[in-house]
Structures are given as C-alpha cells and as structure tokens.
Amino acid sequence: MVAEVRAFNRFYTAVIGMLRSGMHNSPYSLTEARVLFELNRHDADRDAGREDGEVEVGEIKRELGLDGGYLSRVLTRLEGDGLVRRERSVADARRQVAALTPQGRETFAQLDERSDAEVRTLLDGLAEEDRARLVGAMAAIREILGERPLPLPYVLRPPRPGDLGWVVHRHGALYAREYGWGPDFEALVARISADYLDHLTDPGQAGWIAEVDGRRVGCVFCVRKSDTTAQLRLLLVEPSARGMGIGARLVQECLAFARDAGYRDIMLWTRDNLTAARRIYDGAGFKLTGAEPGAGFNEEYWERPL
C-alpha cells in the first residue's frame, strides 16, 4: 500500500507539473504560486474591513505548513518582483503583514487563468462518466486525508436510464464491503429494480436519485405493496454524502408521494444492523412491528400510517 501511494504521488506530481521549473509557464515555483493564491484569497477581505487585504505572515505560514525561514525567502523574492508588499502590523509591531500589489493581483490572475486552462484541457480529454469518477475520487481523497469538506447542495430527481444499474451495483459493492453481504443480497436488489422497471406506468410507484455536484450519491423507491399500503425500498446513501441529511430527505419524499398517491399506510423491510437507516426510519415516524431471525442479523418490519 505504501508503494501504491508513492506511485500515485509520482504520477500526479508529473500530471500537475510540479517537476517543471515554473508553474504554468511562469518563473514562479509551486510554493510561490500557492503563496500568491493565499494572498489573493485574503485580498477579498478588503471589502470586509481588513486594510488593503493584509494578512499576517504567520497566518500564511500556518495555512501552508511552511518553515518560517523558507516563507520569508519566498516573500522576499515576490517582493523583489513587485508582486507583494510587506510591513510591520499597525496593531502589533512584532508581527509582519503582507498583501498583493496591483501587479501581484494581475500576475495571480494570469496564473489562475492558465491553471484553469490546463485543468480544462485535462478534463476535455475524458468521457463525461470518467470526469465524474475523477472528481469524485479526488473529493474522496481530500475527505479521507482530513480536509473538512464545505457543505454542498444536493438535488433529488427521478431515475433516468442507467440509474437502476447503478442502484444494483452500489448496493452490491457497498453492503459487501460494510457488512459482508454476498451475491444473494445483490440478486435481491436486482429483482426489486427489475420489478420497478416492469411497472413504470404504475402511478402508485416512484423513485428518487440524489446527486451532489452531478454525482449520484443516494436513492430510494416507493412501490405498491397493496392497494392501501406502500412500501419504501432500497434506501442508500454513499459514505461520501452521509451527514448531509440526504437519507432523511429521501424518506420524506417517499412519504409525501405515498400520501399523495392515496395510500393509507407505508411499510418497509430492513435489518437490525443497519443502525443509521433505523434512526432515520424512527425519526420519520415508523414503528417496528415485527422481526425474524436471519444469518447474523434480524429481519425487521417497520410501519407507519399516512
């Protein structure tokens, strides 16, 4: 595994040009470009009351994890090129502040534009599905290695062609990894999905796919159990999207549809080791009404009136 991580690092540093003498055909190294990026980011604070977009040098040091002496040399080089100004803080003379000059803002804008163009060229050479996989994998790396992701909006939409195949695939792969469930479970999901597709014209059934930034991250389906009872099926939320409230929202969409479709009550089947899903069901007003022993778990039946 260590060798795989190192191989990826070697590959990706070459892809983004870290081995070139200057970033984006400029005379500036990756570190110098990152310092310009951070100064430009803080430059937006001018409208929030920070004088001329100034930022303490110590803050840049902490944000980038740089040695103080090395950062000082980088700032000296950028200052010599007329891109950065440094001075003592008015509030505390012991501290230095730095800010972009007008020339520094112009230079950063050029670097930023070239960076966008290089990434766009990289993405343009990929199929749409591969672009989504790439961005999703990058987000997963950032999250796993400790970056706190910004809250992203999500959308719920009806299933489109190809979505049910994704539903089967993700149920099979995810539950095999998290719970050790085998091909019997994946076959069950495939049968449920096929039955849903066989009854697309039934006004008493519907499905929802959750997306974040164009990536499928969740699903749920409402199907007909009887003329008066609906059944919630195949609730799933990808690990990368958990904690965003998507699971609870999917369940609420299912309940609203079942109510509007004229059902009197709704039921679902789950397993007692799916603790996160059980919390969602409990929060949505479902009550446990029966259980049967299974292989290492209990099959559970939950119901609620509409």
Task: Return per-residue pLDDT of the chain as tens, 306 residues.
Answer: 999 999 999 998 888 777 777 777 788 888 888 888 888 887 765 544 444 568 888 888 888 888 888 988 999 999 999 999 988 887 777 888 888 999 989 998 998 898 899 899 989 998 887 888 888 788 778 878 876 655 678 999 999 999 999 999 999 999 998 888 999 999 999 999 999 999 999 999 999 999 987 889 999 999 999 999 999 999 999 988 888 899 999 999 999 999 999 999 999 999 988 988 999 999 999 999 999 887 667 899 999 999
* CATH code (residue 257): 3.40.630.30
Instruction: Annotate 139-161 with b (16+ C-beta within 10 A) or e (fewer).
Output: beeeeeeeeeeeeeebebeebee
- Spatial separation of the C-alpha atoms in residues 284 and 278, rounded to whole Å: 10
Is position 84 within any domain? yes
Question: For residue 45, what pLDDT is reported?
Answer: 54
Its domain, for residue 172, covers: 154-305
Query: What phi, psi does 100 have (nearest 5°)?
Result: -75, 145
The C-alpha angle 150, 137, 31, rounded to 5 degrees, equals 70
d(CA 105, CA 83): 7
Task: Give domain status of residue 162, yes or no.
Answer: yes
Domain boundary residue, one of 108, 125, 142: 125
Residue 81: the pLDDT is: 92
Q: Do 175 and 301 share a structural domain?
A: yes
DSSP string, 236-284: EE-GGGTTSSHHHHHHHHHHHHHHHTT-SEEEEEEETT-HHHHHHHHHT
pLDDT at position 50, please? 46
d(CA 56, CA 63): 11
Q: What is the pLDDT of residue 188?
A: 96
Please report whether residue 138 resides in a domain: no
- pLDDT value for 63: 83
Crossing angle (nearest 10°) for helices 275-283 and 246-260: 50
Give the Cβ contact number of residue 66 at 10 Å: 16
Per the CB < 8 A criterion, the answer to whether 44 and 105 are in contact is no
Cβ burial, residue 30 (10 Å; 0-12/13-18/19+): middle
Based on the fold, state whether residues 160 and 120 are members of the same structural domain. Answer: no
Domain of 67: which CATH number? 1.10.10.10
Listed in sequence order, the DSSP H helices in 81-206 are: 102-124, 128-144, 163-179, 183-198
